[in-house]
Structure 1
Amino acid sequence: MSAPTPRYERAARRAQADGRIPALSVALHRADREPWVFTVGDSGNPDHPLGPGTPFRIGSVTKTFTAVLVMQARDEGLVDLDAPIGKYLDVPAHGDATVRRLLSHTAGFQREPYGDVWDTLIAPDAGRMLAELDRAERVLPNARRFHYSNLGLAVLGQMVAGLRGGTWAEILTERVLTPLGLEHTTVGRPADAAVGYLVDAYSDAARPEPPVDVGGIAPAAQLWSTAADMAKWAAFLASPEITDPAGAVLAADTVDEMRWPLTTTDESLWAAGFGLGLILVPEGKRVMHVGHDGAMPGFLAGVYGRRGGDGNPGALGCAVLGSSGTAGQTNELVHELLRLAAELDPAEIRPWRAGPPTPTAYRPVLGRWWSEGMEFVFAWHDGRLQARAAEAPAGRPPAIFEPLPDRPDVLRTVSGREAGELLRLTRDDSGAVVRMHWATYRFTRLQEGFDGGPASDGPETTNRR
């Protein structure tokens, strides 16, 4: 990663200067390049100058790790996302909130645990936090709308700890940090960490903020990390099939499930959505940035991976970590750098190569078909049957089918349009496919009405029947 680095560096320097951020550390991770890491500023730690390995507080980015732990438990049959939390935790109140609603911030939990944590800077331990749930409000009805809650994710973290028989920190290290090689991501504050600051709005003064330990809320906000580690984590959230091909941490299909939007964060401005523990930021032209922002006293973080779009090399992740708790440029820069990476240093265009022929059984399916008066094109690419509307935009992914194991003429739509639905082939005595049904809608070689009559028959012909 060399040619565009002056542009990356300039963007980072501009964000640091405009945001008046004492220390800024940024990193880009991608499948086809060595990681790029850049720092600017002063760590504020006299014994440990700012460098590529300087840890920062990442705040609520921690929630993405807890969400992965929950999904691991689900995949192993320990948790049902639609079961109430009270099934897995002995809680004095709000036990009817489901795991899925807590992950998507739609359970209506108040934002913080009971008490004035941010006044006292003393957080309850896990036991007290759970014991005081009856003193915490359900500020909105279940499933009413998005309402961000540190309390909700903290409860989920303690649920996983109970199910696994350890502490949240132990389970996180064993099941996520170690398998992915995130060696510089820690629960406790490292000795070489940057100092977090409150920068005065009306002068150049900067006041150090206290490094708060959040106790039982740790699954929502506790972690420290480096930009390089977090860029790799962002790449995992965007492209687990590349960063974790064996599924040691989580199956790619499960991460895909986490990325599906369950709610918008603002009903009047659909600028961001929320999945299962993940923030989703649409960038236009079928591009999505997926990840999370983080904020703690003296620190802001933006950690996102890029999905889709021209020039995307895959496993493209970015992290921006800053030592000011008020500089919004930190959270803006992460999206700018992802855009620049795809624009200035796009993935190489791979040459097309001829592949094996379409299996005999599916050759009669290829070509143009009609349904509901609309034209569709069925094709065979990359070893699978695909379909797309003839007028679909070029960037829209096709529907992809896989035959049922014991019924080759019945295929399941595994992605794209009508995902999950069946495609049934009907053959004549010669074996030719003469008709298909997809999601129960009839597909024919000629354009027909719902009554089976050809579109070429005008009203006079139809009336004579």
Structure 2
Amino acid sequence: MSAPVARYERAARKAQADGRIPALSVALHRADREPWTCTIGDSGNPDHPLGPDTRFRIGSVTKTFTAVLVLQARDDGLLDLDQPISAHLDVPAHGDATIRRILSHTAGLQREPAGDVWDTLITPDAAALLAELDRAERVLPNARRYHYSNLGFAILGQLVAKLRGGTWEQVLADRILGPLGLDATTVAAPPQAAVGYLVDAYSDAARPEPQFDLRGVNPAAQLWSTASDMARWAAFLVSPETADPDGKVLAAATLDEARWPLTTRDEAVWSSGFGLGLILVPQGKRVVDVGHDGAMPGFLAGVYGRRGGDGTPGGLGCAVLGSSGTAAETNELVHELLKLAVEQDPADITPWAIAPPAPAAYRSVLGVWWSEGSPFAFSWRDNTLRATYADAPAGLPPSVFQPLDGQPDMLRTVSGREAGELLRLTRDDAGAVVQMHWATYRFSRVQEGFDGGPASAGAGR
């Protein structure tokens, strides 16, 4: 056993023992290594002992799948994220809630469907969920703040089903599970299902929890899966270029959009945020874990991938699935394992190699330019023009530019500082760039005031 694997396994065994988790299944996925899996404990299923193929309920991790289905529909022109749901669904109430607000849990919808569903363990079917929406409250004004809503994601699932002309379950299988080969991820409990437990707080007794189907609320929390499938799913969420290089499921740019934080989850402690269906957990030094936690009676799940930071490999995803509904260690372990993976076995370092020079049209741009009294370095890397603010914090990504079609002197900022803004080049008679305007701010080769006078001249001109 290698040293990194020994550390992973020890962390998993400690979490299982400390959390008193009857069955724990863990997987790490990365594009540059073989997957690592580990199972500890007892499935509680006499016909199917615990192993890598044991299935666990993943609860609200299901929402990440529903979010991807919604974004697929948007990319296919079937909806606009800023449309109200009433543009596509005939609902008796709350039709003004927009798709984007529901995706980011900022629409103010109550948490669950109307009724005491966690007492009865009976949820409405898909038709009743929508027909009875007038029984549910809008507990907060639209866009007021983050408020988690299973009801909201259930509505989104039915929206996707209507637009695609099938059920949510069919659309999920056809458009995500099949294309990505997530064969162990199912809507119904399979024969290999682990038993979920409530572990007694004051003894080592454990009571099996009841299992039930969520029916109309399936798009919020119904799925079962393995740690291996979920680690691969997490890798897709953070690195689609490695998990889905042809963009069969979703464009990489769309996942970039989904990962952008739209709200913090706590107004006082900004320790996590929410994008379009994704939880974002900063880990310091420009590192963020992206994914979702899940909970259902007797089960907890943590499914996250990691982006950013020195040594983070592409396609790094982790899943921790446990058969206890109360062990917080399940959700903590996923972040610990992602951290250990980078510390113990960082990505290989690619040797630097000589590359072709910048195109002649942009060579006079390279070097230091000044704007608002501050220096910016413009360079040519990876076949793109880019800019870095001299006083930027370490690790801050550069701004990257792409020329507009047929307009080499007009470039769009496609990422980094001033994303979306234009960079305009001005040339002299010899064709050299002598001035630039970026986001309308003037850039010159010497430090100038806003009146155009050089700083070196002091009060004079």
If the length of structure 2 is used for normalisation, what is the TM-score? Answer: 0.99
Q: Which amino acid letter does the alignment assign opposite residue 289 of structure 1?
A: D
Residues in 2 aligned to 1:126 and 1:111: alpha-carbon distance in whole angstroms: 17
- Structure-2 residue corresponding to 1:233: 233
Corresponding residue of 1:3: 3
2:427 is the counterpart of 1:427: yes
What is the alpha-carbon distance in structure 1 between the residues aligned to residue 391 and residue 277 of structure 2?
35
The whole-number CA distance in structure 2 between the counterparts of 1:339 and 1:284 is 11
Cα separation, 2, equivalents of 1:252 and 1:240: 6
| SS of aligned partner of 1:379 | strand
Report the counterpart of residue 389 of structure 2 in structure 1: 389
Offset of 1:348 from its aligned partner? 0.5
Runs of 4+ aligned structure 1 residues displaced above 6 Å come to none
1:444 is matched by which residue type in structure 2? Answer: S
- For residue 392 of structure 1, report the CA deviation from its aligned partner: 1.6
- In 1, distance between residues paired with 2:258 and 2:156? 15
Q: Which residue of 1 aligns with 2:159?
A: 159
- Deviation of 1:405 (Å): 0.9
Give, in angstroms, the shift of residue 457 of structure 1. Answer: 1.8
Residue in 1 aligned with 2:340?
340
Unaligned ranges ≥5, structure 1 = none
Q: CA deviation at 1:403?
A: 0.4
CA deviations 1:227-286 (Å, max 9, x no partner) are: 000000000000001110100000000011000000000011100000000000000000
Name 1:266's counterpart in structure 2: 266
Task: Give the fraction of aligned pairs with identical amino acids, expressed as a percent.
Answer: 77
Shift of 1:336: 0.2
Q: Which amino acid aligns with 2:227?
A: A
Partners of 2:248 and 2:432 lie apart in 1 by: 44
**Aligned AA for 2:414?**
V
- Distance in 2 (CA, whole Å) between partners of 1:364 and 1:142 is 50
> How far apart are 1:211 and its partner, in Å?
1.1
Equivalent position SS for 1:6: helix
1:69-148, aligned counterparts within 5 Å?
69-148=69-148
Mapping for residues 366-445 of structure 1, pairs under 5 Å: 366-445=366-445
TM-fit CA distance, 1:2: 3.8
User: In the alignment, what sits opposite 2:34?
Assistant: 34
- For residues 368 and 310 of structure 1, the distance between their equivalents in structure 2, rounded to whole angstroms, comes to 26
2:131 equivalent to 1:150? no
Per-residue deviation, 1:59:
0.2
Distance (Å, rounded) in 2 between the aligned partners of 1:291 and 1:161: 23
**Corresponding residue for residue 61 of structure 2:** 61
Cα deviation per residue 1:320-350 (whole Å; 9 max; x = unaligned)? 0000000000000000000000110000101
Aligned to 2:210: 210
Aligned residue-pair number: 461
Aligned to 1:451: 451
In structure 2, the gaps of 5 or more residues are none
Shift of 1:6: 0.6
State the partner residue of 1:244: 244
CA distance in 2, matches of 1:285, 1:311: 12
Structure 1 equivalent of residue 331 of structure 2: 331
Q: Deviation per CA, 1:385-429, whole angstroms, max 9, x where unpaired?
A: 000011223311100000011110010000000000000000010
The alignment's C-alpha RMSD in Å is 0.8
Q: CA deviation at 1:167?
A: 0.6
Q: Which residue of 1 aligns with 2:178?
A: 178
Partner of 1:359: 359
Provide the rounded CA distance (Å) in 1 between the counterparts of 2:224 and 2:238: 21
Distance 1:268 1:104 in 2: 19
What is the one-letter code of the residue matched to 2:288? M
